[in-house]
Structure 1
Amino acid sequence: MRRFSIVTLATIALALPTLAAAEFMQVKKEKQFRSQIVDRKLTDANGNWTIIKSDGTQSGSFNGQTYVGAWKWNGRYWCRNGKLGGQELGTNCQLVEIDGTSTRFTRDKGKGKSGGTYTIN
């Protein structure tokens, strides 16, 4: 009986972080994007950060390199064009998801690589 209890408790303990995590939901409207993300500092676990500004510009720092760019909302996607460390990144429209305290961007309208999770400050 004791062995069963330890295994059961261990299983529950491992599942709790998953159960407690909020579910990411797609941001589909520009109004929601502006109210929850724009003009706030977004920071990832590595200290990279960006601010997507209400005037259509964006700035930040990624891996020690300066990022500057412009953005617009297009349909259900956030589209950005910028330079990282002086190198043109080109335009990319991205799926935006939010869970209340975090956001993530996935390139190529959600079909590409995720840019990671950012804490909304």
Structure 2
Amino acid sequence: MPAFIARPVLMVLTALLLAAAPLGPALAEGFTPLRDKAAFVALIENKNLKRLGITLRVLPGGAITGKALGQKVRGAWQWRDGYFCRDLYWGNENLGANCQEVSVRGRTLRFQSDRGTGDYADLSLD
């Protein structure tokens, strides 16, 4: 894949499951951090997470499935110390492990990489 396509795709998927901003602006934008696994599961159960070109399912049992820009997405997740920790593959490319802070505003979930200090991706619940 050409670098000019691969880099934006990896940024979006790495932020997820898949624009940098610290937690302060997230709160200012009306996002509320989720720290409880049960609250997270209640939001994502039987829902798709969508963003332009990306549709994902984060299953309560720990699997991640979906498609992003024409490639299969698969992975696994667990809730650890108040963070969404995932291992993710996009096609055959291993995007690696990352623990992310999850915040919610209405029907939008924000996944912010590196325990809330890195890049983020906003996905809508559908």
Q: Which interval holds the TM-score relative to the shorter structure? A: 0.7 to 0.9
Structural RMSD (CA): 1.2
Partner residue of 2:49? 42
Match of 2:36 in 1: 29
Determine if the alignment matches structure 1 residue 60 to structure 2 residue 66: yes
For the 8 Å contact 2:108–2:124, the answer to whether it is kept is yes
TM-score, structure 2 normalization = 0.73
Q: Which residue of 2 aligns with 1:13?
A: none
Higher RCO (CA-CA < 8 Å; seq separation 6+): 2
1:89 to 95, 99, 113: 95
- The structure 1 segments of at least 4 consecutive aligned residues displaced by more than 2 Å after TM superposition are none
Q: Does the aligned pair in 1 maintain the 2:101–2:115 contact within 8 Å? A: yes
Structure-2 change in CA distance of 1:105 and 1:25 (3 Å): same
AA partner of residue 42 (structure 1): L
8 Å Cα contact 2:85/2:97 also seen in 1: yes
Q: Sequence identity of aligned pairs in percent?
A: 30
1:71-110 matched pairs, under 5 angstroms:
71-110=77-116
Q: Which residue of 2 aligns with 1:117?
A: 122
Structure-1 separation of matches of 2:56 and 2:46: 10
Unmatched segments (≥5 aa) in structure 2 = 1-28
**Count of residues paired in the alignment:** 98
